[in-house]
Amino acid sequence: MTSPNVDLRSVPGYPDAPVLASVWRGGAVESVHRGSWCLVDGSGRVLDGVGAWDQPFFARSSTKALQAIPMFETGAASRFKLTDMEIALAVSSHNAEPCHVTTARGLLHRIGVGEDRLGCGPQPPGDPEARAVLISNNVAPGRIHNNCSGKHAGFLALTRHLDAEVASYLDFESASQSMIREAVSDFTGLAPEELGRAIDGCSAPTFRMPLSALGTAFARFTSPEGLSTERRRACQRIMNSVHRYPVLLAGRSRRLDTALVEVSGGRLFPKIGAEAVYVVGVHGKDRALAVKVDDGGLRGLHAVVVELLHRFGFLGGAEARALEAYRQHTLRNWDGVEIGRLEVH
């Protein structure tokens, strides 16, 4: 148990960060959300930012699009004829709505791998309706319902294409994960040995890197003109797939990833990571925004991301207003009474 005298902002190894957003009740601040963010270009130049954007954080699921690149460069995506829906799902953190589960099962069937081989654990669907259906039918959540099952299906397609051992597809030094680490290294500009690593919630490797490196990777990914022809085509195929099927990227139940793609018409390519990591690349603009909110919660994260995208001109006024539910400028209680506001600094 933590001593009540310990200042958690000074925990060894974790940077002290400024307040990004404050929550007001009446005329007084009730809560604050601390964190860091940076706006970068594909060269790695930080154009603006606050907090510890140069310090490493675990990127968690925010790197999924980068992790999908070897599927294309090895020919796995072509061999197994991945559809746009399957590609969007492969880079998703999904709600396990019917479209997500059906798409994941279709890909697994085509590559000849059973659901039991998914290395992600069983997880209740993030979508309330999908969760209720399982409960009403007395069906336990499965691995296919895990929010990362699409990514794992993609990993398994790559593994099968490489004729590697399926049972070890998540091992740090497996053939597929070695290729994935090299791709993440190339996009971030960090040497493979500079990428800190640990095990993610879905049992896959996750990488630790500065926010500036994560932003650099997404600026390069969403403005891939300077990349090799094969890699550029992979980036464009992934972006086009998400543009066509934004619901496959996350879902309908209060998911900012899907909302940002829809409201921007595919101009923005966003990806959330657990513990309030977020990155958004701007298609063709050589810009990306990377954010980390220290408390790991969505309230501060959503508001900060939408406000900063609007502030930098990546969301127009009408687009930002369409996302008002995520900005929470006005806070109301259960009876609809206005009781305060959320203010991004």
Say whether pLDDT at 279 is over 70.
yes
Cα 247 from Cα 284, distance rounded (Å): 22
Q: Which two tokens stand for residue 316?
A: 């127009």
**Average pLDDT over every residue of 308-321:** 96
Q: Which two tokens stand for residue 263?
A: 């409201």
315, 313, 312, 303: which is closest to 345 by C-alpha?
303
What confidence score (pLDDT) does residue 2 get?
Answer: 45
Say whether pLDDT at 6 is over 60.
no
Cα 93 from Cα 161, distance rounded (Å): 24
- Listed in order, strand segments (DSSP E) in 106-204 are 196-199
Q: State the amino acid at position 193 in one-letter form.
A: E
pTM of the model: 0.94
**What domains lie within the chain, and their CATH numbers?**
16-344 (3.40.710)
pLDDT tens across 134-159, in order?
A: 999 999 999 999 999 999 999 999 99
What confidence score (pLDDT) does residue 328 get?
Answer: 86
- Taking phi over 0 as left and psi of -120 to 50 as alpha, with beta for the rest, 275 belongs to left
